[in-house]
Chains A and B, each alone.
Chain A
């Protein structure tokens, strides 16, 4: 007796096939990514950080850091956004001590906290921290609720207020999602330093593995006075400052 395909069977078969293909396909994708990661595994043994010595940094240095970041990541030329709507992954701050009147210039960006409030509040896990301490936004999961921006004590995040064109290949940005400093994760994973650090090219800004006792940043932090911004919040930031 020949079997005719009725509607129910058709739906069953199609569903099963689709589910099967989807499972296998996602498995393949995962394997592909895993293969890449294996060459340079991201582990808890590292903690990427940055030490910024404001006494050694000139205003021009800081401006250079900002433009290096813009060039590397392709932000800052939004055509329609105005004022505070424009993206700002790193900015120059001028701070005056209320008692002594001492003025300090410093660059401010995502501080890559060990306990990031943005990650805590994100409803969809789009805000996340890599094992090596880099705090990132997964733009495929970000629904644009902006709760992370409410939670960040450093005003470090930007919301994309308009349609964007001409983006960097390694940095897809999207209207309606949130973004911030990635510590140039695409370069760090290749063994390079972040664009802003490279632009200064002196020991005024040191990048490296905070945990590695042989690293420059680890050794310098043991010697010099340094501070975390809003240390009272106990977020244990990856970006440290000396001279403030």
Chain B
């Protein structure tokens, strides 16, 4: 079966409207960065207690999603599933675009983004952060090579090897991202080895949700055929990943509850943490977990693209909420400095945090950067198959 890839035309009014809309969001983000860097972080909601705020939530969300978006390509070239093969190029592209968006936010939220060169030249190899800088840069190179193997006919034979390398690298990368929190011994909410595998499974869900939305939108807007075989398979897979995330969340909290020292922070997230508790149950669990699974698995909705799109959006919204609870909630709960004692004054209590508008605008700008990169690159390089109709993609298709 021969798949023909073709650039999108990118001349329609819709294309320019999309680019303009995303451009406005990116300009707004740059304005927000200028405002925050010019004045200093006092104009944000962040403080010495909540040192990582909304920008980190979006940045880590995108970085985690980035490694997950590559899964579609990995399923094709590492696990040999033919149905996914035509989707591989787009999978690599979405992955790189999301990573670029996430890293942009991370860098622009630094206290001294002008010193990026220091981060690139001075390495402390005991730091997970330093490792992550290497892992992110390496990811760009490896996925770029992987894409080249896919694009260049003479190199096609090496695709599966490059795919295996990229797949391994992405697992290490997400382990590194999860370990940013997993290795923080000082804080009750973190310091759990399960953070790393949990981040990997979160990346599967978020990355696939992004991929499904981008795939369905680009085929609809370019009026190319997209068959049910592909869409339904991806939808079912998303449901499995969402369930897996919920399993990990349950294990993490149940495991923590077993240790008396973590009872406080668990109560805070699960029972009496005010906004964090509400976000956990209504946002992460119901909105980002149960409803998407219902939308995907309910027999009456099977094959319905609108509900699959909605489910994907909800998975993403739930993902942002989940990272908000991990990052901000984890900092808001005070560190246990004096076990057996109560701190009356000077430290302690739940740290206050209200995200400021510029922080949110910067985060949204990162998503816009990822999307505009995809929008342009599918116009200039043949990432998308001209048809993903069932008769092209489905190895078992019977007319």
Contacts and interface: CB of A to CB of B under 8 A. Distances in A.
Interface of A: 78, 80-88, 91-99, 103, 108, 117, 119-126, 141-147, 149-155, 157-163, 174-178, 229-230, 232-233, 244
B47 A117 contact: no
B299 interface: no
Interface string B157-198: 000000000000000000000001001111100000000000
A95 B342 contact: yes
Contacts of A152: 186
Interface residues of B, number: 50
Given A95-B343, A150-B184, 13 more contacts: A84-B47, A85-B47, A93-B345, A97-B342, A98-B340, A103-B344, A120-B124, A123-B133, A124-B122, A125-B123, A142-B112, A160-B40, A162-B42
A88 B178 CA distance: 30
A98 B342 contact: yes
30 contacts: A81-B42, A84-B50, A85-B42, A95-B343, A97-B342, A99-B340, A103-B344, A108-B346, A108-B347, A122-B127, A123-B130, A124-B118, A124-B122, A124-B130, A141-B115, A142-B115, A143-B111, A143-B113, A144-B115, A147-B129, A150-B51, A150-B186, A155-B337, A159-B111, A160-B111, A161-B41, A161-B46, A175-B40, A175-B111, A233-B186
A94 B346 contact: yes
B2 interface: no
Given A95-B338, A145-B110, A153 B346 contact: no
A149 B111 CA distance: 13
A167 to B, nearest CB: 15
Contacts of A150: 51-52, 184, 186-187, 331
B249 interface: no
Contact of A120 (B40, B126, B180): B126
Contact of B111 (A81, A145, A230): A145
B250 interface: no
Contacts of A87: 48
Interface string B98-127: 000000000000111101101100111011
A92 B180 CA distance: 30
Interface SS of chain A: helix, strand, loop or mixed? Answer: loop
Contacts of B52: 146, 150
B47 A83 contact: yes
A88 B116 CA distance: 27
Given A143-B112, A152-B186, A94 B128 contact: no
A85 B351 CA distance: 11
Contacts of B130: 123-124
B111 A177 contact: yes
Nearest to A83: B47
Contact of A146 (B51, B124, B185, B187): B51
A232 B338 CA distance: 11
Contacts of A153: 185-186, 335, 337
Contacts of B40: 80, 160-163, 175-176
B87 to A, nearest CB: 35
Contact of A151 (B46, B186, B346): B186
A143 B121 CA distance: 12
Contacts of A177: 111-112
Contacts of B39: 80, 162-163
Contacts of B186: 117, 150-153, 230, 233
